Structure 1
Amino acid sequence: MEVAPADARRLHVDRGGACFGIGDVDHLDAALGVPHTSHRAGAYRRCFERSPVTSWYRLGFVSILTAEQRDSWDRNGYFILERFASPDTCASMLTRAAELCRLDAAGKSIGHSLVDPERNPWADAVNPEDRVSKIFVLHDWDPVFGPFARDERLLEVISDLLGPDVDCFLSQFIFKNPSAIGQPWHQDSLYFPFEPDRQVGVWVAVTDATPVNGPLSVLPGSHREPLHEHVPDRRPDANLGYTEIVDMDFVDAQMVLMNAGDVLVFDSHLMHCSTDNESDGARAAMVYHYAIAGTIDRTYQHLREQSEAMGAMPDDIKESAAAGVEESPYHWMPVWRDGSAVP
């Protein structure tokens, strides 16, 4: 589903069963008790306080999500925004990621990003990007990936789930080149020992995700599970930070096939995995993680208490944890405040 501009979208307001469209402005203004001035969804949303019980905004409740998206989020823990990113955006992301790999291979600066090599490299690799698993931390500095993290259309969706004040704290470009192995079943919340412990992930399909190139699979409804025990992935070619849930039945898992430009929005407790890439092309994706502003990050404390709890970590992270560092290893960037995008 393509996301329309905010002023063209329907805004659903529940007051004893009544539902108004954004075009029904006279009735909507009267129902909400706000001056008849701006009709943008954001202007209405700022009139509400976020309910402590649910992520909807309340007088009744207000959401820019469709009923189908809200139902999927509540029941399954995820939904897909179809054709959200344009072909040009996907092409720019793929080109920029390759450029960063080549700069890094040449010993040139790529800011504070981290290039993680593929442990099971492609036999036909030619260019540096063919040998890379992921590039971490792109959201807070890169001229291509940063603007997407702050895309107002996306942030309106995220803020509907998290509230009026949102930060982006982590990002990673995933190449998933041919022969790359899949990531075992896990919950992203394992890597985010935060308070509160619910975050929202955004998985942008930069290329098509097909049955043979290592797509994601999810376990619908598993977002209602607590954080399960994860054991380190002991495969010799396991990539950085891979862990595995071994105490859950995944018989009801569903494969998530996506076209380039589709965006998967998912709860950090949702159990998901990927399979090996058995194709002759990359299955590229760009992932962003968002949290409520003011979230308390206890990553270093967690690592001091359980050194292998999050799988294999970069040496600098382990050294900082051992040294008693308390500030976050993540890169927290304000993106949404009081119902508006942060420039």
Structure 2
Amino acid sequence: MSATNIGAFEEAGFTVARGLFGHDEIERLRAEFAAMHASGPVPGHFEPRTSGDPLRTHPRVMHPHEINPLALRFLLDPRLRSVLETLLGEAVLAAQSMFYFKPPGARGQALHQDNFYLRAEPGTCVAAWRDGLFCPEEADAGVSFAREYVPPPPGLSAVPVDMAPGDVLFFNGSLVHGSQPNRSAVRFRRSFIGHYVGRSAERVGRFYRTISMSGERVALAESAGAGPCGTEFAPHGPH
């Protein structure tokens, strides 16, 4: 992490580490999840269904690190650990992994805050977003698969972040962020996501099973009001 990266994280709440992973590593990760999709459902993690909604035929994979060694390796990668500890100023725990296929025509996710779902306590955000959690409104089901929508704070607007394969976006849990629908007719928009909390956290939602960056289970007390990242609407489109 350069001083510029650290300054961006502290002032704006996010930063991008360009080329942190090689293209060959990303291709291997893509192939791993393509094979997982082809092999069928894994109850509790990944359950595709026949549907006219691309997010039902290619649903996100929840906690893939618990069922796939490569996903676990990516979640706990030493390069991520180094950046995270620099940005947070302490050791970290991995709380969750996810993989999004985002096939052509898939809806995005409305603006939201991750710590609305994780409820990590005490807060470990170190950036400018110190106003805590906002009360979400209901999102537009036509463009978002998740129900919650947080309008941008007064005077602020969304900032697009363009990324290439191998880039990693780091942002704190109070940052308002989201994604647009995939309007491509042929291209997927895949992403592997890890959620982390500072080692000083004492509580987190029961959905999040925290482990150290060495892979050992580190149980935290349960915080109230938490849930999976993004409460999904009912299936979209014809079945």
Counterpart pick for 2:121 among 195, 209, 224: 195
Counterpart pick for 1:235 among 136, 141, 147: 141
Question: Using the alignment, how far apart are the partners of 2:14 and 2:2 within structure 1?
Answer: 13
Question: Using the alignment, how far apart are the partners of 2:50 and 2:123 within structure 1?
Answer: 30
Structure 2 partner of 1:80: 16
Counterpart pick for 2:208 among 330, 333, 341: 330
8 Å contact kept, 1:186–1:230 = yes
Structure 2 partner of 1:256: 161
The residue type paired with residue 45 of structure 2 is S
How far apart are residue 102 of structure 1 and its match? Answer: 2.2
8 Å contact kept, 2:143–2:181 = no
Counterpart pick for 1:265 among 165, 170, 174: 170
| Change in 2 beyond 3 A, CA 1:112/1:293 | farther
| Change in 2 beyond 3 A, CA 1:189/1:286 | same
Structure 1 partner of 2:112: 186
Question: Using the alignment, how far apart are the partners of 2:32 and 2:107 within structure 1?
Answer: 23
How far apart are residue 296 of structure 1 and its match? Answer: 3.2
Counterpart pick for 1:98 among 27, 34, 37: 34
% identical aligned pairs: 23
1:297 is the counterpart of 2:203: yes
8 Å contact kept, 1:92–1:144 = no
Q: Which runs of 5+ in 2 are unaligned?
A: 216-239
Question: Using the alignment, how far apart are the partners of 2:14 and 2:66 within structure 1?
Answer: 25
Question: Using the alignment, how far apart are the partners of 2:49 and 2:194 within structure 1?
Answer: 20
The 5 Å alignment of 1:1-343 reads 65-105=1-41, 110=42, 113-115=45-47, 121-122=53-54, 131-198=57-124, 223-233=129-139, 235=141, 238-239=144-145, 241-246=146-151, 248-249=153-154, 252-279=157-184, 280-293=186-199, 295-297=201-203, 299=205, 328-335=206-213
Question: Using the alignment, how far apart are the partners of 1:143 and 1:294 within structure 2?
Answer: 27
Larger Rg: 1
| Change in 2 beyond 3 A, CA 1:77/1:195 | same
SS at 1:90's partner residue? Answer: helix
| Change in 2 beyond 3 A, CA 1:247/1:267 | closer
How far apart are residue 88 of structure 1 and its match? Answer: 1.6
8 Å contact kept, 1:173–1:286 = yes
How far apart are residue 116 of structure 1 and its match? Answer: 6.3
| Change in 2 beyond 3 A, CA 1:234/1:275 | closer
Post-superposition CA distance 1:314-343 (Å, at most 9, x none): xxxxxxxxxxxxxx2212111159xxxxxx
SS at 2:40's partner residue? Answer: helix
The residue type paired with residue 191 of structure 1 is Y
SS at 1:178's partner residue? Answer: coil
| Change in 2 beyond 3 A, CA 1:333/1:165 | same
| Change in 2 beyond 3 A, CA 1:104/1:153 | same
Post-superposition CA distance 1:253-276 (Å, at most 9, x none): 211111111110111111111111
Structure 2 partner of 1:54: none
Count matched residues.
Answer: 214
8 Å contact kept, 2:113–2:173 = yes
Question: Using the alignment, how far apart are the partners of 1:118 and 1:251 within structure 2?
Answer: 40
Question: Using the alignment, how far apart are the partners of 1:152 and 1:172 within structure 2?
Answer: 18
Q: Which runs of 5+ in 1 are unaligned?
A: 1-64, 123-128, 201-220, 300-327, 338-343
